[in-house]
Amino acid sequence: MDVPAATQRGIALVITPGVNQVSVAEHTLALILGVLRAVVERDRAARDGSWRREYLPRLAGKTLGLVGLGRIAKAVVPRAQGFELKVIAFDPQPDRQFAESHNQ
Q: Which domains does the chain have, with CATH numbers?
A: 3-101 (3.40.50.720)
pLDDT of residue 33: 96
pLDDT of residue 32: 97
- Write the pLDDT tens digit of every residue in 25-80: 999 999 999 999 999 999 999 999 999 999 999 999 999 999 999 999 999 999 99
pLDDT of residue 103: 78
Task: Tell whether pTM > 0.85.
Answer: no
Q: In whole angstroms, give the CA distance from residue 33 to residue 79.
A: 12
- Quickly list DSSP for the chain: --HHHHHHTT------TTTSHHHHHHHHHHHHHHHHTTHHHHHHHHHHT---------STT-EEEEE--SHHHHHHHHHHHHTT-EEEEE-SS--HHHHHHTT-
Q: Residue count of the chain, please give it.
A: 104
